[in-house]
Structure 1
Amino acid sequence: MARRSYNSNGGIGFICVCVVVMSVVVSGRPTTFLEDFRVTWADSHVKELDGGRGIQLLLDRSSGCGFASKRQYLFGKVSMKIKLVPGDSAGTVTAFYMNSDTDTIRDELDFEFLGNRSGQPYTVQTNIYAHGKGDREQRVNLWFDPAADFHTYSIRWTHSLIVFGVDDIPIRVYKNHEAKGIPYPKQQPMGIYSTLWEADDWATRGGLEKIDWNKAPFYAYYKDFDIEGCPVPGPANCPSNPNNWWEAPSYQSLSPLEARNYRWVRMNHMIYDYCTDKSRYPVTPPECVAGI
Structure 2
Amino acid sequence: MALLLFITVIFMIPSSSAYGPPSPGYWPSSKFRSMNFYKGFRNLWGPQHQTLHKNELRIWLDKTSGSGFKSVRPFRSGYFGASMKLQPGYTAGVISSLYLSNNEAHPGFHDEVDIEFLGTTFGKPYTLQTNVYIRGSGDQKIIGREMKFHLWFDPTQDFHRYALLWSPKEIIFFVDDVPIRRYPRKSAATFPVRPMWLYGSIWDASSWATEDGKYKADYRYQPFVARYANFKASGCSAYTPARCHPVSASPYRSGGLTRQQYAAMRWVQRYHMVYNYCRDPKRDHRLTPECLHSH
Q: Which residue of 2 aligns with 1:8?
A: none
Cα deviation, 1:124-154, whole Å, max 9, x if unaligned, reads 1111012336311111111211011000001
TM-score, normalised on structure 1? 0.81
| Contact 1:159–1:247, Cα closer than 8 Å, also in 2 | no
Q: Structure 1 residue 45 and structure 2 residue 52: aligned?
A: no
Name the one with the larger strand percent. 1
Query: Where does the alignment leave 5 or more consecutive residues of structure 2 unmatched?
Result: 1-31, 137-141
Q: Which residue of 1 aligns with 2:267?
A: 264
Q: Structure 1 residue 223 and structure 2 residue 229: aligned?
A: yes
Q: Which residue of 1 aligns with 2:124?
A: 120
May I ask how many residue pairs the two structures share in their alignment? Answer: 259
Instruction: Give the C-alpha shift of residue 282 in structure 1.
Output: 5.9
Distance 1:167 1:247 in 2: 14
Q: Secondary structure at the match of 2:110?
A: coil
Distance 1:257 1:162 in 2: 18
> Alpha carbons of 1:105 and 1:212: their partners in 2 closer, same or farther (altered >3 Å)?
closer
Cα deviation, 1:108-127, whole Å, max 9, x if unaligned, reads 10011001112211101111
Match of 1:175 among 177, 180, 184: 184
Q: Which residue of 1 aligns with 2:198?
A: 192
Instruction: Give the C-alpha shift of residue 161 in structure 1.
Output: 1.1
> Alpha carbons of 1:232 and 1:266: their partners in 2 closer, same or farther (altered >3 Å)?
same
Match of 1:63 among 40, 62, 65: 65
> What is the letter of the counterpart of residue 268 of structure 1?
Y
| Contact 1:171–1:266, Cα closer than 8 Å, also in 2 | yes
Instruction: Give the C-alpha shift of residue 291 in structure 1.
Output: 3.1
Q: Structure 1 residue 277 and structure 2 residue 286: aligned?
A: no
Higher RCO (C-alpha 8 Å, min separation 6): 2
| Contact 1:131–1:183, Cα closer than 8 Å, also in 2 | no
Which contiguous aligned blocks of 4+ residues in structure 1 show a shift greater than 6 angstroms? none
Q: Which residue of 1 aligns with 2:220?
A: 214
Instruction: Give the C-alpha shift of residue 103 in structure 1.
Output: 2.7
| Contact 1:158–1:246, Cα closer than 8 Å, also in 2 | no
Q: Structure 1 residue 204 and structure 2 residue 210: aligned?
A: yes
Within 5 A, what are the aligned runs for 1:1-292?
A: 32-50=36-54, 53-101=55-103, 102-132=106-136, 134-178=143-187, 182-186=189-193, 188-238=194-244, 241=245, 244-245=247-248, 249=252, 252-281=255-284, 283=286, 285-291=288-294
> Alpha carbons of 1:74 and 1:149: their partners in 2 closer, same or farther (altered >3 Å)?
same
Cα RMSD after superposing both structures = 2.4
Instruction: Give the C-alpha shift of residue 105 in structure 1.
Output: 3.8
Distance 1:190 1:109 in 2: 9
Cα deviation, 1:250-272, whole Å, max 9, x if unaligned, reads 56322112111111111111111
TM-score, normalised on structure 2? 0.81
Q: Secondary structure at the match of 2:212?
A: helix
| Contact 1:91–1:207, Cα closer than 8 Å, also in 2 | yes
Distance 1:84 1:92 in 2: 11
Instruction: Give the C-alpha shift of residue 200 in structure 1.
Output: 1.5
| Contact 2:90–2:121, Cα closer than 8 Å, also in 1 | yes
Distance 2:115 2:222 in 1: 23
Instruction: Give the C-alpha shift of residue 205 in structure 1.
Output: 1.2
Q: Identity across aligned pairs (percent)? A: 37
Q: Secondary structure at the match of 2:168?
A: coil
| Contact 1:39–1:67, Cα closer than 8 Å, also in 2 | yes
Q: Which residue of 1 aligns with 2:3?
A: none
